[in-house]
Structure 1
Amino acid sequence: MKSQSSTLLAEVRTFRQHHPDVRYVDLIALDIPGHFYGKRYPIEMLEKVAAGSPLKLPQNAVLLGTQGGLFKIGDYCFHDGDPDANRRLVPGTLKPVSWESQPLGQMLITSDGTEAPIEFEPREVLAKVLQRLHNKGIHPVVAFELEFYLFDKTLDHGLPQFARDPLSDDADDQPTLHIERLSRFSEVLDDMAQTAKDQGIDITVITAELGPGQFEINFGHLDDGLRAADWAALFCRSTRGVALKHGYRASFMAKPYLEHPGSGMHVHVSLYDGAGNNLLAAHQQQPLRHAVAGCLELLPHCMPIFSPNHNAFRRLGGTVNAATRACWGFEDRDACVRIPESDPRNLRIEHRLASADANPYLVLAAIFAGLEHGLDTQREPIAPLNEDRTSGTDFPLDMLDAVRTMQQHPSVREKLGAEFVDVYCENKRQDHLAFQQEISVREYRWFL
């Protein structure tokens, strides 16, 4: 603890030397719906926290709904006295915030690694799954890919408008994969990439996607799953901020346009032993087949994680590369679990089902749980799509069915934690019911 405190204290003092104009730092963590919550600390107080002073926030901040409200979940929120819970600073995450009007810093905080971690905190759920894998001698390497849309900054009666082409000032309303779109929007995209790098995120490939104003950003491969999920979470925050600075809105919403492709979160995962050997490539790739089988078996029972809201279910079975059944294939983007062509050293799975607005900590935890389940049970997977285009198993396509399916599955409860599963499912159930409490314009048009 003393060593960690000295490291954190050195990090804060170095930051202050390099950024003497920063007076406040946002201490932030991701809640269940994938939004950041936290507190803005004077940098002098941050130095005290780094030196060992307690850092406490309400435990139930993790349970907030999508709109920020609290739901009654067991004894939480309304019958527990709303207690505080300890958090700690995440080393290496103190970075400048460049998209605000005033100099500011930000730093991740978490309950994992404290004396009493919050069992349903997303980062803690992932930390426990990773620790179990490490205890088995399994060391994952992870890379995220995130798709998002750019919109005009101004909404039209609450509806998004196509991003304006900065060269012509026309709406970028044509689906295209052309490289020219990267040039036309280079100013905002370059700023997004540089800002992410300033946050310590390894940005690699930038792609113009098929939807109008849609792009994809790839991250470098990491042998630290927690850090990889940190990158995905922080990238969403910085990208939205940079977009507003340039007169756009950036959104990771799963399906903003019914007629255009949705936005996904693709996760590449390979598994290594302590000596650096690729476990999936051993024994003529038999462990790869077992891992795929485990992913497909648990996938239908983790749908509230992969599709965390009503809109995310709209993306499934959409116009491009979004399956409606649990399936796999070699070099096949129609599959939920794709096996990219690679040499044995880099053999990996690409999990393509999650929506871009899913919680990256929980998505990664669910993927790891599936891989672990498959390696433990050693079952053969169903036929790949390359052999049978009809291959696949059904999964829930609405939230209420999905939470029932998730909450009852013994392996999901065991691997992700029964307390987390109960809390998460009730949070999603209540969020979905709250969403239904507003009468839409279409409802009046149809039934008035």
Structure 2
Amino acid sequence: MKSHSSALLAEVRSFRQNHPDVRYVDLIALDIPGHFYGKRYPVEMLEKVAAGSPLKLPQNAVLLGVQGGLFKIGDYCFNDGDPDANRRLVPGTLKPVSWESQPLGQMLITSDGTEAPIEFEPREVLAKVLERLHHKGIHPVVAFELEFYLFDKKLAGGLPQFARDPLSDDADDQPNLHIERLSRFSEVLDDMAQTAKDQGIDITVITAELGPGQFEINFGHLDDGLRAADWAALFSRSTRGVALKHGYRASFMAKPYLQYPGSGMHVHVSLYDSAGNNLLAAHQQQPLRHAVAGCLELLPHCMPIFSPNHNAFRRLGGTVNAATRASWGFEDRDACVRIPDSDPRNLRIEHRLASADANPYLVLAAILAGLEHGLETQREPFAPLNEDRNSGADFPLEMLDAVRAMRHQPVLRDKLGAEFVDVYCENKRQDHLAFQQEIHAREYRWFL
């Protein structure tokens, strides 16, 4: 513990030396809907925390709804006295914030690794899954890919406007995959990539996607699943900030336009043993088939995680490469679980179902739980799409049905934690009901 504190203290002191103009640091963590919450600490107080002083925040901050409100979930929020819970600093995440008007720093905090971790904290849920896999000699290697849209900074009547092409000042309203779009928006995209690298994130490929103003960023493969999810969470935050600085609005909203493709979170996962052998490639790739079967079996019960809000369900089946059934295939982007062409060393799955605004910790935890379940049960998957284009299993396409499918699934309750499943499902149910407690203009047009 002393060496751990010493390393943190050295990190804070080095940061202060390299960034003497920074007076405050945002200590941040991801809540259930995937928003950052936390506190802004004077940097000298951060040094005390790094040296061992307690760091406490309300436990129920994790339970906030999409709009920041608290829901009654069991005894939480209104019958528990709103207690504090210990957090700790995540080593290696203290970085400068370059998109704010004043010099600032940020650092991730978490309850995992403390004496009493919060069972429903997203990062803790993933940490438990990874710890269990490591005890079994299974070591995941993970890479995220995130799609997002650029909009004009100003909304028009609450609705997004197409991003302005900086060369012509016209709206970038034509869907295309042209490489020229990367050149036209290079100033903001380069700043996004450099800012991410300054946060310690390994940015690799940048792609202009099919939707107008839509892009995809790929991250490097990591043998630390927690860090991989950290990268996805931190990238979302920095990208929104950089976009505003350049006069745009960046959004990871799943389906901002009905007529154009939605934005997804694609996750590549391979599994290795302690000697570095690819477990999925053994025995003529039979473990790969088992892992796929486990993923597909649990997928219909994980929909509140993969599609965490009303808008995310709009993305499914609407346009290109968005499935409406649990499916798999080799080199097939219509499948939920795609097997990219690769050599045995790099054999992996690509899970393509989650929306870009899903919580990356929970998405990865659900995927790994499915892979683990498949390796345990050793069942065969149904036919891949390459053999049968109608192959697949139905999954819920509406939030309340999805919550019902998740709440009592015994494998998920075991692998993700029964307390987490109960809390998460109730949070999603309450958020969905709150969303419906507003009459939209269309209702008046149709029924008034």
TM bucket (normalised to shorter chain) is over 0.9
Shift of 1:221: 0.1
SS at match of 1:286: helix
Post-superposition offset of 1:314:
0.1
**Structure 1 counterpart SS, 2:302:** helix
Q: Could you tell me how far apart the structure 1 residues matched to 2:163 and 2:403 are?
A: 35
Taking the TM superposition and a 5 Å limit, the aligned residue runs for 1:419-438 are 419-438=419-438
> Matched residues in 2 for 1:429 and 1:238: separation?
29
Q: Give me the whole-angstrom Cα distance separating, in 2, the residues matched to 1:55 and 1:399.
A: 36
> Which residue of structure 1 lines up, in the alignment, with residue 402 of structure 2?
402
Structure 1 length-normalised TM: 1.00
C-alpha separation in 1, matches of 2:21 and 2:359: 33
Write out per-residue CA displacement over residues 223-243 of structure 1, whole angstroms, 9 at most, x where no aligned residue. Answer: 000000000000000000000
Deviation at 1:408, TM superposition (A): 1.1
Instruction: State the distance in 2 between where 1:443 and 1:233 align.
Output: 36
CA displacement at 1:137 relative to structure 2: 0.2
Give the distance between the partners of 2:440 and 2:164, measured in 1 at CA.
28
* SS of residue paired to 1:87: strand
SS at match of 1:119: coil
Give, in angstroms, the shift of residue 335 of structure 1: 0.1
The separation in 2 between residues aligned to 1:177 and 1:328, in whole angstroms, is: 25
Cα distance in structure 1, aligned partners of 2:122 and 2:29: 9
Q: Distance in 2 between matches of 1:185 and 1:439?
A: 38
Distance across 2 between alignment mates of 1:245 and 1:175: 25
Equivalenced residues, count: 448
1:173 matched residue in structure 2: 173
SS at match of 1:390: coil
Deviations 1:175-200 (A, max 9, x none): 00000000000000000000000000
For 1:168 and 1:309, the matched residues in 2 are separated by 36
Instruction: After TM superposition, give the deviation of residue 318 of structure 1 in Å.
Output: 1.4
* CA shift digits 1:150-201 (9 cap, x unpaired): 0000000000000000000000000000000000000000000000000000
* 1:321-358 deviation per Cα after TM superposition (whole angstroms, max 9, x unaligned): 00000000000000000000000000000000000000
**Shift of residue 252, structure 1, vs aligned partner:** 0.1
Q: C-alpha distance in 1, partners of 2:293/2:142?
A: 19
Cα deviation digits, residues 372-428 of structure 1 (max 9, x gap): 000000000000000000000000000000000000100010000000000000000
Residue 273 of structure 1 and its aligned partner are, at CA, apart by: 0.1
1:230-309 counterparts in 2 under 5 A? 230-309=230-309
- 1:26-83 Cα offsets, whole Å, 9 max, x none, are 0000000000000000000000000000000000000000000000000000000000
Between the aligned partners of 1:3 and 1:444, the Cα distance in structure 2 is 64
Provide the C-alpha distance between the structure 2 equivalents of 1:438 and 1:167, rounded to a whole number of angstroms: 40
Whole-Å separation in 2 of the counterparts to 1:351 and 1:278: 18
Structure 1, residues 237-285: CA drift from partner, whole Å, max 9, x if none? 0000000000000000000000000000000000000000000000000
- The alignment's TM-score, normalised by the length of structure 2, stands at 1.00
Does residue 412 of structure 1 match 2:443?
A: no
**What residue ranges of structure 2 are gaps of 5+ in the alignment?**
none
Alpha-carbon deviations, 1:260-316, whole Å to 9, x = none?
000000000000000000000000000000000000000000000000000000000
SS at match of 1:253: coil
Give me the identity figure in percent: 92
Give the Cα–Cα distance (whole angstroms) in 2 for the partners of residues 56 and 67 of structure 1: 23
Q: Please give the root-mean-square deviation of Cα atoms over the aligned residues, in Å.
A: 0.2
Listed as ranges, the matches of 1:291-370 within 5 Å are: 291-370=291-370
Q: 3-state SS of the aligned residue for 1:27?
A: strand
Matches within 5 A, 1:36-185: 36-185=36-185
2: CA distance, partners of 1:55 / 1:44: 14
> Structure 1, unaligned stretches of length 5 or more?
none
